[in-house]
């Protein structure tokens, strides 16, 4: 005879289903509740009915399921039980929205989010590996490009400050920019995946993150191509105005707006597995509906990242100078290598903070679109906004 709940073939002498009895004592790997409904068909973790999401013909946990499917399932559970379960241990129920703005308020919230991001990285060291790989891969690519341009005799063509249309220069710059952005966005996509998994209570692993980014490589490449074109156009405008004209200000504003848009797009592309066009429409909807205080957080993150970058550069220069002064000229190369590694780590952390902010922002936006005032918010963002 089969168990009517799980389909387990019971022994004739069994008074109850052994599988259901065992599951009733197990703890959900996502939310910690006692009693599980089954195992995720992706990661095989035992999860309760509130965390087992039907998606794409399978039953997945909230960490493996797409964010929109997970959010819709949580809304159904909340309506049925009168309570909306949290998506994971990295979420909280309520947050006090920021009251005081201004420079110091934004700086304080940016510093708090930086601290919360660092705590996330300490809990799971894999979160910082993709940003580090991005810095090293981008640096290696740019060094190879410089040597390649010199060897191919294109150095003067690319770097000459000349007016008019130069097809060779434009194509070369676009290609270099496209590859550079593709590297950066690919590893940022991995970071988005890892942060989402971490906040939902699972161990963030590089293998699934790599596969997730690779699965969405089409959207990432289109994003990189658009960024290369916008970067080329804005840089040409800045050169014409020599940094002081209205064209320069407009180019800086466009570049800033596009950067915000990119960091909104990446979590949507990675976590919802949608095309570039659908992700752009989704990002526009998030921004237009003002579901989250994008500008407040963006200003705080920019301020903190610039402060961190300035301090890191100053420490690197001082360290190199002191070491050369004490040891002598022989220490110059080792000192520069150590300083370069130090700056690479700092740059990776800065990129991680920004990616973490927009990932948390997106996850909160998805929750608010479904549950409004009952929406769960990622803990790092909640802590920063209430600071």
Model confidence at 80, pLDDT cuts 50, 70, 90, reads: low
pLDDT of the residue at 211: 93
Model confidence at 185, pLDDT cuts 50, 70, 90, reads: very high
* Residue pointed to by tokens 């195992």: 39
pLDDT of the residue at 300: 66
Alpha helices by DSSP H, listed for the chain, are 18-25, 67-81, 102-123, 129-152, 155-159, 167-199, 206-215, 217-241, 246-272, 276-288, 294-327, 332-371, 379-385
Do 66 and 272 touch, CB atoms closer than 8 A?
A: yes
Share of the chain above pLDDT 70, in %: 73
Model confidence at 94, pLDDT cuts 50, 70, 90, reads: low
CB atoms within 10 A of CB 83: 12
Q: Provide the b/e sequence for 265-301 (b: ≥16 CB within 10 Å).
A: bbbbbbbbbbebeebbebbeebbeeebbbbebbbbbb
Of 14-23, 70-79, 280-289, 356-365, which gets the smallest average pLDDT?
70-79
pLDDT of the residue at 294: 54
31: which residues sit within 8 A by CB, 6+ positions away?
A: 48, 50, 51, 85, 86, 88, 89, 201
Alpha-carbon gap, residue 79 to 51, rounded angstroms: 15
Alpha-carbon gap, residue 385 to 95, rounded angstroms: 7
pLDDT of the residue at 162: 61
Q: Averaged over 219-244, what is the pLDDT?
A: 78
Q: Which residue has the higher pLDDT, 175 or 61?
A: 175
Short-list 319, 381, 360, 320, CA closest to 98: 381
Alpha-carbon gap, residue 272 to 279, rounded angstroms: 8
Of 33-42, 105-114, 168-177, 242-251, which gets the smallest average pLDDT?
242-251
pLDDT of the residue at 137: 92
Six token digits for residue 135: 């810095």
Short-list 366, 2, 29, 17, CA closest to 197: 29
Question: Highest mean pLDDT: which of 73-82, 105-114, 126-135, 158-167?
Answer: 126-135
Q: Averaged over 232-241, what is the pLDDT?
A: 69
Q: Averaged over 12-41, what is the pLDDT?
A: 70
Chain-centroid distance of CA 363 in Å reads 11
pLDDT digits over 55-78, tens only?
Answer: 777 788 777 777 666 666 665 655
The answer to whether residue 158 scores a pLDDT higher than 50 is yes
pLDDT of the residue at 38: 78
Domain boundaries, given as residue ranges, for the chain: 18-92, 102-385
- Cα distance between the two ends of the chain: 59
Model confidence at 292, pLDDT cuts 50, 70, 90, reads: very low
pLDDT digits over 310-354, tens only?
Answer: 888 888 888 888 887 887 777 778 778 888 888 888 888 888 988
Q: Can you state the angle between helices 167-199 and 332-371, rounded to 10 degrees?
A: 60
pLDDT of the residue at 186: 95
Q: Which residue has the higher pLDDT, 288 or 189?
A: 189
Alpha-carbon gap, residue 178 to 182, rounded angstroms: 6
Do 320 and 331 touch, CB atoms closer than 8 A?
A: no
Short-list 293, 301, 292, CA closest to 107: 301
Alpha-carbon gap, residue 351 to 135, rounded angstroms: 9
Segment 355-358 long-range contacts (CB within 8 Å, at least 24 positions apart): 355/131, 355/188, 355/191, 355/192, 355/195, 355/263, 355/266, 356/113, 356/117, 356/120, 356/191, 356/195, 356/380, 357/113, 357/117, 357/263, 357/297, 357/298, 357/301, 357/381, 358/263, 358/264, 358/266, 358/267
The answer to whether residue 278 scores a pLDDT higher than 70 is yes
Do 150 and 195 touch, CB atoms closer than 8 A?
A: no
Alpha-carbon gap, residue 344 to 350, rounded angstroms: 10
Model confidence at 7, pLDDT cuts 50, 70, 90, reads: low
């Amino acid at each position: 005879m089969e168990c009517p709940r799980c389909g387990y073939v019971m022994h004739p002498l069994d008074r109850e289903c052994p599988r259901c009895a065992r599951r009733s004592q197990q703890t959900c790997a996502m939310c910690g509740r006692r009693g599980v409904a089954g195992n995720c068909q992706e990661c095989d973790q035992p999860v309760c009915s509130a965390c087992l999401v039907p998606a794409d013909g399978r039953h997945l946990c909230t960490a493996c399921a797409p964010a929109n499917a997970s959010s819709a399932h949580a809304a159904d559970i909340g309506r049925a039980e009168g309570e909306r379960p949290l998506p994971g241990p990295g979420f909280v129920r309520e947050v006090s929205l920021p009251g005081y703005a201004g420079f110091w308020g934004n700086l304080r919230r940016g510093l708090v989010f930086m601290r919360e991001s660092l705590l996330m990285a300490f809990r799971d060291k894999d979160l910082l590996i993709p940003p580090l790989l991005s810095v090293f891969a981008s640096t290696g690519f740019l060094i190879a490009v410089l040597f390649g341009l010199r060897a191919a005799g294109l150095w003067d063509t690319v770097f000459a400050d000349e007016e008019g249309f130069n097809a060779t220069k434009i194509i070369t710059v676009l290609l270099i920019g496209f590859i550079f952005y593709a590297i950066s966005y690919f590893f940022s996509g991995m970071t988005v995946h890892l942060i989402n998994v971490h906040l939902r209570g699972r161990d963030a692993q590089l293998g699934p993150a790599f596969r997730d980014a690779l699965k969405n490589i089409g959207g990432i490449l289109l994003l990189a191509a658009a960024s290369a074109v916008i970067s080329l156009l804005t840089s040409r405008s800045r050169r014409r105005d020599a940094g002081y004209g209205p064209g320069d200000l407009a180019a800086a504003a466009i570049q800033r707006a596009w950067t915000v848009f990119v960091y909104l797009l990446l979590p949507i592309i990675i976590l919802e597995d949608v095309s570039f066009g659908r992700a752009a429409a989704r990002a526009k909807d998030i921004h237009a509906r003002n579901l989250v205080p994008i500008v407040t957080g963006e200003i705080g993150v920019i301020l903190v990242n610039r402060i961190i970058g300035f301090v890191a550069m100053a420490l690197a220069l001082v360290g190199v100078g002191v070491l050369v002064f004490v040891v002598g000229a022989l220490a110059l190369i080792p000192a520069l290598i150590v300083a370069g590694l130090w700056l690479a780590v700092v740059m990776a952390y800065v990129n991680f903070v920004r990616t973490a902010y927009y990932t948390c922002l997106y996850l909160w936006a998805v929750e608010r679109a479904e549950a409004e005032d009952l929406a769960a918010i990622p803990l790092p963002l909640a802590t920063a906004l209430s600071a």
